[in-house]
Chain A
Amino acid sequence: MSSGEIFIVVFLTAIVMVSGALIIAWLLAPRSTNAQKGEPYECGIPTRGTSWMQFKVGYYLFAILFLMFDVETVLLFPWAVIMKSLGGAGLLCVLFFLLILVLGLAYAWKKGALEWK
C-alpha cells in the first residue's frame, strides 16, 4: 500500500464521516421554521444592512508578509534535508538568502507595518 493510496482513503473517510453525520442529524433532528429563527445572531434588534460590505482588512499587510516568509520556508526545506553534506559553504549561501529576507522584515518593522492600528 503506497502512501498516496492511503491518503485517498483517509480523504474519502473524512468526507464520508462529515456527510454521514449530516445525514444522521438530518434524519433525527427536528425541523421548524419561523421568521425570527433565520435572523443573524447579533444583538436582538433587527439587523441593519448586510455584512458583505467593504471591510478594513487590517490584516492585509500581515498576509503579504506571511506569503513572503512562507515561500522562504518552502525554499529552505530542501536545503535543510541535505545541509549536513553541504556543510559550511551551503550555510554561507543560505545566510545570504536570509539576509535579504531579514532586511525585508526590518524594513516592514521600521515602516510600522507590524503595528496594529
Chain B
Amino acid sequence: MLELIGIRDWIHNSLTELISEDCSWVVSLIEYVLIGVAFLAVYAVLALILIYVERKVCAFFQCRLGPNRVGPWGLMQSIADMFKILLKEIIRINNTDQFLFKVAPFIVLVGSFCTFGALHFAKGIHGVDFNVGIFYILAISSLGVVGILLAGWASNNKYTLIGAMRCGAQLVSYELSAGLSLLTMVMLAGSMQLSEIINVQEKSWLLFQAPIPALIAFVIYLIAGHAETNRGPFDLPEAESELTAGYHTEYSGIQFGFFYLAEYLNMFIIAAIAATVFLGGWQPLQINAEWAEDFNNVMNYIPTWLWFFGKTFALVFLSLWVRWTFPRLRIDQLLKLEWKILMPISLFNMLLMAVWIIWIK
C-alpha cells in the first residue's frame, strides 16, 4: 500500500532515533522546516500542473492543440513560463502607493497558502487542523479580498480601481452562500474540525447521508466557490475587454505571477474543500451493504492520496468546463444571482437540513 502516512512516521522515527533526547527541539525544528518545504513544493508543483491542465483543457474545448512545443505534449511549458516570469522586469509605476502596492501580493498569497495549509491530503497527512477548521478556512481565505482591494487602490489606475471594487463586491457576496452551504454540512457532520468531518464519512460520504439538502448545498457551494475564484462566467473583476486585466493591470513580472498563482491555487483549494466536506476527502467510496464487501475492499486498496487528488481534480475539471462553456455575466446579473437566488435558497436549504436531521434521519 502506497500510503504517505508510512513516510511521515518513518521520518519522525528516524529523526528521534538519530538525535538524542535532550535536544528534542532540534527534531521539532527539522520537522517544521520539512513541513514548510513540503507545503512549498506541493504548492508550486500543483500550480504548474494546474496551469498546464487549464491551457490544455481550454485548448481542447476550443478545438486547438494547446501548448505542444516545449517538451513532450508541451509538458515543460509551464516550467518554462515560470522561469520566464522570474526573468521579467518589475516595472516601477509613477505615483503609486509604493508600500500598499508591494504588500498586496503578499496578502493575497498568504491568504491562499494558509488555506492550503488546512487541507487534508491523505490519511494522516495534513497541516493545520483546528477544532474550528471550517471557521479558519472561511476566515483566512477571505484575506484575499483585502489584498485585491489594496492592489486596485494602490495602483492609481482607473481600471484597477473599478476591477478591485467589483471584485470586492463579488467576493464578499458569494462568501455568504459558500459559508452557509458549509454551515449546512457542519450541521450534518456535527463538527467543524476537518479531520472529524472526514472521519464521519467513513461509511458513506456526507453527500449521500442526507441526499436532497446535501446535494443542494453542494451545487450552491460549487457555484459560489467558482465565483470566489474570479473565473469563468464570474470573471468580471478582470474582464479583459473592458478593464484590461482588472485589479492587476499595473503589476508586472513576478508580482503579477503571485496573483496568477493565487488564482489557480484558489481554484484547487475550493475544489479540495468541496471534495473534503461533501465527497469524503481521502475516504474511499464505500457501499454500506452486505453484498458490497468485495467492492469495498477493492476501493480500500486504492491509496487515500489518490482518492483525494482524484476527487479534487474531477471538481477542478468541472470548474474548467464551466469556465469555457458559459458567457460572462453582467455585474447586476451577478449580484442578482447571489442575493435573490442563491442566498434565499441556501437559507431555506439550511432549515431543510435541520428538519431532515431532526425528524427524517
Contacts and interface: CB of A to CB of B under 8 A. Distances in A.
Interface in A45-67: 50-52, 55, 57, 59, 62-63, 65-66
Given A12-B36, A62-B335, A69 B91 contact: no
Given A29-B253, A50-B95, A115-B332, A65 B175 contact: no
Contact of B250 (A33, A40, A57, A109): A40
Interface stretch (B122-130, B273-281, B315-323): B122-130
A114 B293 CA distance: 53
B44 to A, nearest CB: 8
B26 interface: no
A42 B157 contact: yes
B286 interface: no
A28 B83 CA distance: 10
A30 B88 CA distance: 7
Contacts of A22: 254-255
B117 A6 contact: yes
Contacts of B257: 21
Contact of A91 (B35, B158, B253, B358): B358
Contacts of B87: 25, 28-29
Given A29-B87, A62-B173, A7 B190 contact: no
Nearest to B87: A28
Interface string A61-102: 011011001100110110011111001100100110010001
B312 to A, nearest CB: 19
Nearest to B105: A18
Interface stretch (B72-80, B176-184, B298-306): B176-184
B340 A25 contact: no
A10 B127 contact: yes
B139 to A, nearest CB: 9
B93 A40 contact: yes
Contacts, number: 196
Nearest to B132: A77
Given A29-B89, A59-B168, A105-B343, A41 B39 contact: no
B347 A102 contact: yes
A51 B165 CA distance: 13
Interface stretch (B51-59, B63-71, B106-114, B214-222): B106-114
A80 B191 CA distance: 8
B179 A3 contact: no
A9 B36 contact: yes
Contacts of A31: 89
Contacts of A18: 105-106, 109-110, 258
B31 interface: yes
Contact of B156 (A1, A51, A66): A51
11 contacts: A1-B28, A3-B129, A7-B117, A10-B127, A18-B109, A25-B90, A37-B92, A50-B156, A57-B165, A74-B135, A77-B192
Interface of B: 28, 31-32, 35-36, 39-40, 43, 86-95, 105-106, 109-110, 113-114, 116-117, 127-130, 134-135, 153, 155-161, 165-166, 168-169, 172-173, 175-176, 179-180, 183-184, 186-187, 190-192, 244, 249-250, 253-255, 257-258, 331-332, 335-336, 339-340, 343-344, 347, 350-351, 354-355, 357-359
- The 6 A-B pairs at the shortest CB distance, nearest first, are namely A116-B332, A10-B117, A59-B169, A14-B113, A38-B94, A13-B36
Interface of A: 1, 3, 5-7, 9-18, 21-22, 24-26, 28-33, 37-42, 50-52, 55, 57, 59, 62-63, 65-66, 69-70, 73-74, 76-77, 80-84, 87-88, 91, 94-95, 98, 102, 105, 109, 114-116
